[in-house]
Structure 1
């Protein structure tokens, strides 16, 4: 009976698979590379130069923040024994309030955040903030441009421990990276669009234009979270410009991957190794977990400005909102811990540095709008996820993060070269495990280089 059922499902799946062939690349939508996202009055007057930038914690800002922390009205006490299952446990707020107000070393952290060269330049009407670190390497060592993209609720801070490891020659490799880490549109110190329409596809265009501004017509790329979605759009829209794509949240979101997912629900080994099946199946458990943890996405995608009022006004509200995701995003089982597990892998300073980026720039609302501009009818109608890309790709797959097996990934990424399965680690892997993260980027890029060199030899 089971064999008959599998045969029937397999036949239906094959039929649907056939009719859901990826569209011809010639029909890929052409996005305007010069679309203007800034104020109309500045059109034609923008400063396109590359200007040095420094993060500043002014005395006025610090005084205002401390005043707000002093005037914090505690929420009702949490229910007994719930740990983090109802969201960030408010019992933890008093400890963080005191630390942030009295012990967080504002000026020392300002210096820490300014340790790398930072710049701004105007792209399509928006001042784009980015870190730009060029390696100092001996003669004969190649320098490869690497665009690194963060997501939400992270920021460029996620990569502060990894940048020095990437911008030097690692043992066993004949190259180092010129590292470019921009703040996404509307995040941190990059301007937000003044009109609707700037979703992940449009952000891909904007950040590709940033790389052109810096003199890189071709480059490598790394991205996680929203940075992975932007990266996936970029390798689809500009396959001749991205030389290789490394992602710690690589996903294939198309009809074929959905069909395979449903087929795997009947018998997981059809699409993935048995030891990884628990990461996706049973589907009921997976959907239940997503329901528990993805409520924020629906709010961001529908009513970001409403949610943003409280998060822009209350520093502890902002802290609780971000810390909740850093807790569960690092380890799923941290929901059961009274302390949220935050200090097991991160320092208080690193966690608050990330919150400070949002607070100082007042970017919480505009950051959430990227979801509203991506998960809507207009952006979905571009149908970019259905197109395949030939850009060589590599996945770093931490056990406590979103997961698609190679069988699914190859429905989108034709030249999926490999993956690294981590038995531990979470969503913010570059901050949690910078050594592991940077080593995997080196490993992947070496594969990309060898793949392209092999392709050239084959062509000859």
Structure 2
């Protein structure tokens, strides 16, 4: 007991000292807005025009894919009594492979993926792919720009159900969004960097340049998963240009957040509301979850190219690797279901659309490299989370998201953290899983941001 008390006193003293004497770094680093990430021989020769783009499922690619799906080796059967606890249950995989090879309507889904205007433009040596949809609204309805950013193992496909809702006026609001939805560098149809160094901060620079090229000096941002890290970097690096920051994966990694989290393990009421304490504590449960569910991150953070070989070669492996995340990250209890609960919230076509983006662009290896870039010594030294930002911020926190942090923690970075929507439902892929609920919260948050700007007399657009 005396050791526990001593540990508590040390934690409290450390927290008090940190809160009293440290307000975080004030001078945010400046990243080179022209840093070149493409082939050196193309520097100074890139085409900076904005070019139309369409997704293409070639007959040759479809034939090869179907052959690989139909001619896989026999899978090892699962252990008795096991569902998805060991990963994707091989008894459940055959219906998915059969559907993909024999029933997935390739040309119809190609047309579906091309339903929104898509483009490419070269930013810092990389051809960046993006969707851009302008709203059709009555006169007098304001149009505001919104940058939407996905993560891993997602893609721009996550936002397809949300885009038509965002780009029309919603009841109670006198504005609608012009949305820009880029593929992260190395994801989908965006080029991958040819040299190390592109972590979330560098992606933020690329997307700031993209928005500037499209004519947007100031804009709103929304992100989940890696998109949330890029969004946070945008808010940190460009506070004068980001009008508001909405995230459905709110997470701060700085010393104050760590100390507050430790303090809450002893006195939860000092850190988190009682009815939400179970989302954070006991810490033993949280660390147990991390040990069970984040092994992939260590592999991808250290040896992404090794695992990328198998996932690039085998569509069966790609399906199992990616869809296991859509199962467990939507609801961790799904791993107790023989089918992984995949079709509770998603359709086969929705999930295979996402797989097709990875398969046709051959981007699984380059997408996973982002984990290595995030954990690199260069990125750790940059430490953007240690810098605060005044950008107004709103969090959407679902029941089954992997990490929950309360306002008291999030405010250690987001000085104008205006609030959170805490949902007793939903998981990690929120825009795809619950698009109307997602859209409702984005509208609510931006309305709050606009009110905040008017009160502080800060000019918006």
Q: So what's the TM-score if we normalise by structure 1?
A: 0.97
Task: Give CA-to-partner distance per residue, 1:362-390, whole Å, 9 cap, x none.
Answer: 00000001111111110010121100000
Question: Equivalent residue for 1:452?
Answer: 453
CA contact 1:17–1:259 (8 Å) conserved in 2: no
The answer to whether structure 1 residue 23 and structure 2 residue 47 are counterparts is no
The whole-number CA distance in structure 1 between the counterparts of 2:43 and 2:378 is 25
Give matches, 1:40-439, under 5 Å: 40-401=40-401, 402-439=403-440
Asked if the contact 1:198–1:370 (Cα under 8 Å) also holds between the matched residues in 2, the reply is yes
CA drift of 1:10 comes to 2.6
Contact residue 20 and residue 255 of structure 1 kept, 8 A: no
Question: How many Å separate the matches in 1 of 2:174 and 2:180?
Answer: 20
Q: In structure 2, what is the Cα distance between the partners aligned to 1:103 and 1:76?
A: 25
Per-residue displacement from partner, 1:395-439 (whole Å, max 9, x unpaired)? 000010021100000000000001101001000010010000000
Matched length: 456
After superposition, give the CA deviation of every residue in 1:163-184 in whole Å (9 maximum; x if it has no partner).
0000011110000000000000
Deviations 1:62-99 (A, max 9, x none): 00001111210122111111111111111111111111
Tell me the SS of whatever aligns to 1:229: helix
Contact 2:399 2:427 in 1 (8 A): yes
Instruction: Give 2:16's aligned residue.
Output: 14
Taking the aligned partners of 1:377 and 1:81, their CA distance within structure 2 comes to 43
1:330 match: secondary structure: coil
In structure 2, stretches of 5+ residues that fail to align are: none
CA offsets per residue over residues 120-144 of structure 1, 9 Å max, x none? 0000000000000000111111000
Number of the residue aligned with 1:36: 36
Contact 2:11 2:259 survives alignment (8 Å): no
Alignment partners' CA distance in 1, 2:43 and 2:390: 36
Runs of 4+ more than 4 Å apart: 1-9
Q: C-alpha separation between the residues in 2 aligned to 1:16 and 1:133?
A: 46
Shift of 1:231: 0.7
CA distance in 2, matches of 1:73, 1:92: 15
SS of the aligned residue for 2:101 comes to helix
Q: Report Cα offsets for 1:11-57 as digits up to 9, x if no partner.
A: 33202333443012x2x211100001001111111110000000011
User: Any idea what SS the aligned residue of 2:308 has?
Assistant: helix
Question: Normalized against structure 2, the TM-score is what?
Answer: 0.97
The 8 Å contact of residues 157 and 353 in structure 1, kept in 2 or not, is answered as yes
Say what the alpha-carbon RMSD is for the aligned residues.
1.5
Distance 1:151 1:88 in 2: 21
Q: Report the CA distance shift for 1:419/1:117 in structure 2 as closer, same or farther (over 3 A).
A: same
2: distance between equivalents of 1:256 and 1:75? 47
